Amino acid sequence: MSADPVRTALSVPLRALLDRFAAGDLTALARIISIVENGRAGFETLLDALHFRLGRAHRIGITGPPGAGKSTLTAGLIRRYREQGLSVGAVAVDPTSPFTGGALLGDRIRMNDVALDPGVFIRSMATRGALGGLALATKEVADVLDAFGFDKVIIETVGVGQSELDIAAAADTTVVVLVPESGDSIQAMKAGLMEAADLFVVNKADRPGADRLARELSLMLHLRLGQGLKNIPAHHGVDLRQARPGPDTAAPAPRPEPPQAAGWDIPVLETGAETGAGLPELAETIAVHERWLERSGQRRQRRQQRLAERVREQVARRLQLLTWRDSGGAAMLERSLPALEAGEVSPYEVAARIVRAVLPE
Amino acid sequence: MSADPVRTALSVPLRALLDRFAAGDLTALARIISIVENGRAGFETLLDALHFRLGRAHRIGITGPPGAGKSTLTAGLIRRYREQGLSVGAVAVDPTSPFTGGALLGDRIRMNDVALDPGVFIRSMATRGALGGLALATKEVADVLDAFGFDKVIIETVGVGQSELDIAAAADTTVVVLVPESGDSIQAMKAGLMEAADLFVVNKADRPGADRLARELSLMLHLRLGQGLKNIPAHHGVDLRQARPGPDTAAPAPRPEPPQAAGWDIPVLETGAETGAGLPELAETIAVHERWLERSGQRRQRRQQRLAERVREQVARRLQLLTWRDSGGAAMLERSLPALEAGEVSPYEVAARIVRAVLPE
């Protein structure tokens, strides 16, 4: 392994760290994650060295509006996987805020019962100022977890915003969690959640409106392809209130054409994450999706897209660094501020000058 | 004006368009917005030419989770401003989705009663693929509205995600709208809404939990500075249910020290946007904030930050264009995909090669 040309670019301490990482040392994992999260010296070389270990883990994105119960659901899934003897690495996005102390703590308490298990590693991202942005740093931390050898890598993000959605959508399987209180499903779509989802979970399904939301989601998924209303997709819900059978809980109708061209019929599940209801079905549906990804070639395609995207993001990050740190762009901007403010020059002119300075013809 | 060195860089049709724009032609405004939104030929020159007209409008960001009633609140504010004889330009962010047809329509219906008034111009952004991203394009459309001469420019975004928050936070006054169903306030903070807000609105204040949410928000705003619980900020709520006087509706206590160092005591208002309740107070509080911005020097400081940020965003956009369109980066990435997939090379190595190709030493 010492003949690896990339690896020899690593400093001696980083090489030692990588050896401990390769041997399964959780402390080394935590150190490497910190280096990557904070973009500290050597992080790109480390990620480069780890790249060849990637691709084993199944990546599960969990996203949805605040208060949907994503952390509780994540903790439930982790417990489930541990029962099956699978190891889990999880990364949760928590934008830096003077307030997150409290919120983080809440999550941690919910996560507590799994936190002492060596087959589980949970990390909260809190560095908004990460080089290249929080989204990129989060995906890179997911890479580190994958490279470490976890069977499942869970990425949990507050997902209404585009960048948060993008993080979760970079997973192999993206689970969008909604609650009856999330606002009507039209609003959910508006936020772009629809496109990101491989499967929907209506959580807190014992609350009023849960069945209605699940039904609406199922209907919308079909309208999406303009197939009209006659083929409502199979509803995989667990009705926690033993309600009267409705159109969505009736005996399975003949399977309609799947709503996605690629052949995956996006399911709508109901869970009660606090009680654990519906969690076995959720884990099983995720497993079904994993097998479908493999069979359909989608796993390979998603991995390919992820690699190309990573190149683009890394190029953007390097160019930013070159401009603002190495090429005097920051000083040029600083000097231009008075003229900008006075309206003597526009940001477009200043930007053009800085780009010319970075890229001499 | 024809001696303006930047303006002469404009093509003859764009120059004619700009002349009509300067004369207050709404069709020219719409055309320029389309050019800017879609990054069509000449958009940077146009923005450059418009830059010197900026800075008159007061920019109001309206953000909050889906379903909080932001569009209704925006429509209410617009009506209010029109009654005062003020013109309003509004831009709403609506991420592209195969589904947005429905949601957009809903918004448009709610907006309808103001849509025929020539003193009002409303634009929905739907171009996720905008050059440099939707966030930058939205801020540039707000610039165009400012340059056109509207008194008020309203920027409405679904705000839970970081980039959506950043859009709204780029306004002079950022209003964060929550509803009792938004999830508890801890969750709201987690999403970073707290840092963005100049003022909070608890909308649908006739629903259960509204007062509690308003009280919690007020409390949190104070905990923020670690001032303990004794100084609860004045609560400007309109109690729609005529509830018993609580600590938040009691006679005004001596004003506590403001929670922000800069001297703005973030208010928490209650509204019922559907009924119009609380809207006059909201408009008045926004006006108070505007006066405070001016007096405290914050308006100048925010404008300065906006200008510097715009330079950085524009540099990033130009570098991206140079890399992926003009310098053959796309072809290099394409050629590297098989080796990337085979694990023979990492994204970090490919990115380094592309950057070297763009920036020859």
Three-state secondary-structure class, residue A61: strand
Least confident residue range of A7-16, A125-134, B322-331: A125-134
Number of domains in chain A: 2
pLDDT of residue B94: 59
Q: Are A314 and A320 in contact (CB under 8 A)?
A: no
Angle CA(A41)–CA(A138)–CA(B310) in degrees, nearest 5? 80
Average pLDDT over residues A104-130: 62
pLDDT of residue A136: 87
Does residue B132 sit in the same domain as residue B247?
yes
| Residue B343 falls in which region: left (phi positive, over 0), alpha (psi -120 to 50) or beta | left
Q: Considering B265, B282, B297, which residue would you say is the last residue of a domain? A: B297
Does residue B20 sit in the same domain as residue B124?
no
pLDDT tens string A290-301: 999 999 999 988
Backbone angles phi, psi at A342, to 5 degrees: -75, -5
Contacts of residue A219 in chain B, CB cutoff 8 Å? none
In angstroms, how far is the first alpha carbon of chain A from the final one? 42
pLDDT tens string A276-285: 899 999 999 9
CB within 8 Å: A158 and B159: no
A177 reaches B (C-beta below 8 A): no
pLDDT of residue A10: 81
Contacts of residue B55 in chain A, CB cutoff 8 Å? 343
Does residue A81 sit in the same domain as residue A30?
no
Nearest residue of chain A to residue B193 (CA atoms): A97
Residue A95 clears pLDDT 80, i.e. is over it: no
Does residue B58 sit in the same domain as residue B28?
no
Residue A4 clears pLDDT 60, i.e. is over it: no
pLDDT of residue A182: 65
The token pair that represents A154 in the structure block: 């869970």
Does residue B94 sit in the same domain as residue B222?
yes
Residue A102 to chain B, least CA–CA distance (Å): 7
Structure-model confidence comparison of residues A193 and A151, the more confident one: A151
A360 reaches B (C-beta below 8 A): no
d(CA A213, CA A285): 19
Residue A36 clears pLDDT 90, i.e. is over it: yes
| Residue A87 falls in which region: left (phi positive, over 0), alpha (psi -120 to 50) or beta | beta
pLDDT band at B228 (very low <50, low <70, confident <90, very high): very low
B301 reaches A (C-beta below 8 A): no
pLDDT of residue A58: 96
Between A and B, how many CB-CB pairs are < 8 A? 256
The verdict on residue B347 lying in a domain is: no
Does residue B14 sit in the same domain as residue B81?
no
Highest mean pLDDT among B36-45, B66-75, B160-169: B36-45
Backbone angles phi, psi at A202, to 5 degrees: -95, 105
Does residue A203 sit in the same domain as residue A241?
yes
**Whole-number percent of chain A with pLDDT over 70:** 72
Residue A255 clears pLDDT 60, i.e. is over it: no
The token pair that represents B163 in the structure block: 């980039």
Residue A335 to chain B, least CA–CA distance (Å): 11
Residue A40 clears pLDDT 60, i.e. is over it: yes
One-letter amino acid of B46: L
The verdict on residue B318 lying in a domain is: no
pLDDT band at B160 (very low <50, low <70, confident <90, very high): low
The verdict on residue B187 lying in a domain is: yes
d(CA B305, CA A349): 17
pLDDT of residue B170: 80
Does residue B20 sit in the same domain as residue B162?
no
Does residue A170 sit in the same domain as residue A280?
yes
pLDDT tens string B59-74: 999 987 767 888 889 9
Contacts of residue B340 in chain A, CB cutoff 8 Å? 304, 307-308, 311
Contacts of residue A196 in chain B, CB cutoff 8 Å? none
pLDDT band at A162 (very low <50, low <70, confident <90, very high): low
The verdict on residue B143 lying in a domain is: yes
Q: Considering B35, B52, B69, which residue would you say is the last residue of a domain? A: B52
Query: Which of A318, A341, A359 is nearest residue B351 as measured by Cβ atoms?
Result: A318
Q: Considering A53, A69, A85, which residue would you say is the last residue of a domain? A: A53
Average pLDDT over residues A12-21: 93
Long-range contacts of A49-52 (CB under 8 A, 24+ apart): A49/A4, A49/A6, A49/A7, A49/A10, A49/A18, A50/A18, A50/A143, A50/A144, A50/A147, A51/A143, A51/A147, A51/B343, A51/B346, A51/B347, A51/B348, A52/B343, A52/B346
Least confident residue range of B60-74, B88-102, B172-186, B262-276: B88-102
CB within 8 Å: B359 and A160: no
Whole-number Cα distances in Å, B260 to A222, B257, B263, B265: 49, 9, 5, 6
Contacts of residue B65 in chain A, CB cutoff 8 Å? 65-66, 160, 183
Residue A230 clears pLDDT 50, i.e. is over it: no
Nearest residue of chain A to residue B358 (CA atoms): A359
d(CA A54, CA A153): 12
Backbone angles phi, psi at B294, to 5 degrees: -65, -50
Domain with residue A239: its CATH number is 3.40.50.300
Structure-token match 């949907």, residue found: A68
Least confident residue range of A9-13, A33-37, B314-318: A9-13
Residue B88 clears pLDDT 60, i.e. is over it: yes
Q: Are A67 and B184 in contact (CB under 8 A)?
A: yes
Interface of B with A in 108-147 (CB under 8 A): 128, 134
Give the DSSP letter string of B21-76.
HHTT-HHHHHHHHHHHHTT-TTHHHHHHHHGGG-S-SEEEEEEESTTS-HHHHHHH
Residue A120 clears pLDDT 70, i.e. is over it: yes
Residue A225 clears pLDDT 80, i.e. is over it: no
Range of the domain at B46: 1-52
Buried b (16+ CB within 10 A) or exposed e, A64-91: bbbbbbbbbbbbbbbbbbbeeeebbbbb
Q: Are B160 and B139 in contact (CB under 8 A)?
A: no
Structure-model confidence comparison of residues B36 and A230, the more confident one: B36
pLDDT of residue A227: 39
Q: Are A97 and B192 in contact (CB under 8 A)?
A: yes
Structure-model confidence comparison of residues B242 and B130, the more confident one: B130
The verdict on residue B341 lying in a domain is: no
pLDDT band at B36 (very low <50, low <70, confident <90, very high): very high
Interface residue of A53, A108, A190, A310 to substitute, partner B, most B CBs within 10 Å: A190
B207 CB-contact burial (10 Å; exposed 0-12 / middle 13-18 / buried 19+) = middle
Query: Which of B189, B312, B355 is nearest residue A315 as measured by Cβ atoms?
Result: B355
Q: Are A117 and A123 in contact (CB under 8 A)?
A: no
Structure-model confidence comparison of residues B247 and B351, the more confident one: B351
pLDDT of residue B322: 86
pLDDT of residue A251: 35
pLDDT tens string B266-310: 999 999 978 889 999 999 999 999 999 999 999 988 888 889 999
B328 reaches A (C-beta below 8 A): no
d(CA B241, CA B244): 9
Query: Which of B55, B162, B184 is nearest residue A161 as measured by Cβ atoms?
Result: B162
Structure-token match 């990460």, residue found: A130
Structure-token match 């609105």, residue found: B201
The secondary element (H helix, E strand) that includes residue B178 is: strand B173-178
Does residue A135 sit in the same domain as residue A28?
no
Sheet holding A268-270, edge to edge: A120-125, A88-93, A152-158, A58-64, A173-178, A199-202, A268-270
Average pLDDT over residues B15-42: 93
Residue B126 clears pLDDT 90, i.e. is over it: no
The token pair that represents A208 in the structure block: 């009023």
Structure-model confidence comparison of residues B216 and A172, the more confident one: A172
The token pair that represents A73 in the structure block: 């659901």
Least confident residue range of A35-44, A116-125, A139-148: A116-125
The verdict on residue A288 lying in a domain is: yes
Does residue A18 sit in the same domain as residue A159?
no
Q: Which of A133, A152, A132 is CA-nearest to residue A142? A: A152
CB within 8 Å: B189 and A322: no
The verdict on residue A305 lying in a domain is: no
The verdict on residue B160 lying in a domain is: yes
Does residue B161 sit in the same domain as residue B18?
no
Q: Which of A184, A159, A182 is CA-nearest to residue A169? A: A159
